[in-house]
Amino acid sequence: MDFMMSGLAACGACLFTNPLEVVKTRMQLQGELQAPGSYQRHYRNVFHAFITIGKVDGLAALQKGLAPALLYQFLMNGIRLGTYGMAEAGGYLHTAEGTLSPVRSAAAGAMAGVMGAYLGSPIYMVKTHLQAQAASEIAVGHQYKHQIFPPQSWKVALAAAMVSGIAVVLAMTPFDVASTRLYNQPTDTRGKGLMYRGMLDTLLQTARTEGIFGMYKGIGASYFRLGPHTILSLFFWDQLRVLYYKYTK
């Protein structure tokens, strides 16, 4: 669960910060191995870069490389924070006397960081290639022509559903947990719940007794269910609509 929560938290932040990552990547590649003043500056500053990219490449270009960026954040931060959390929970960061050891904490943090960065490096490379892609008039650095999925592929819809699913499960899981517990609680002879009085009471009791993580139980299953469920629902809806019009005309 430490791995899952750490990774999903980083993905949630990435949804909002990826445009800045696109701007940063292009500004870092601008003027690569060229003397100052000898090249055209397409991006004068952060704000100018935002405007230029949005105007020339379109607003969607500000989220280029989002899929590998999310995967990178999930993998790197899941491993980094999850591994450190496991070391802390296992008591490896404390001395025999029970006090926190700064040396052990630093060593565990460094090892976890190295593992996350090493395993995430190939994905980071793909992300950088995609974020550097631009129209010829504002292109900087080498232009790789990667294409993750072919146009109109079901994989595009699945990736979009999985990306948007991060925000959905983060917002909805507490209510889903509460709803599950409300439906599953024992009742008296009149059908009145014996554990919870309603949705708000369920949320408050859960948070007070089990902590904030208690409100996110099952978030992994919810997330990995959401994408396929969305795609399959749309697929069956589309097929049923085709059959309906075929046999009613």
Q: Name the nearest CA neighbour of 84 among 54, 60, 61, 104.
A: 104
CA 51 – CA 148 distance, rounded (Å): 26
Looking at residue 126, its pLDDT comes to: 86
Q: Which CATH superfamily is domain 2-138 in?
A: Mitochondrial carrier domain (1.50.40.10)
Q: What is the mean pLDDT of residues 199-226?
A: 86
Confidence of residue 19 (pLDDT cuts 50, 70, 90): very high
Percent of the chain surpassing pLDDT 90 = 17
Q: What is the mean pLDDT of residues 195-223?
A: 87
Tens of pLDDT, residues 74-118: 888 777 777 777 777 777 788 877 788 888 888 888 888 888 888
Q: Say if pTM beats, i.e. exceeds, 0.85.
A: no
Of all residues in the chain, what percent are helix, strand and coil, respectively (each to 5)? Answer: 70, 0, 25
Confidence of residue 2 (pLDDT cuts 50, 70, 90): low
Is residue 112 within 8 Å of residue 79, measured between CB atoms?
Answer: yes
- Domain boundaries along the sequence of the chain: 2-138, 154-248
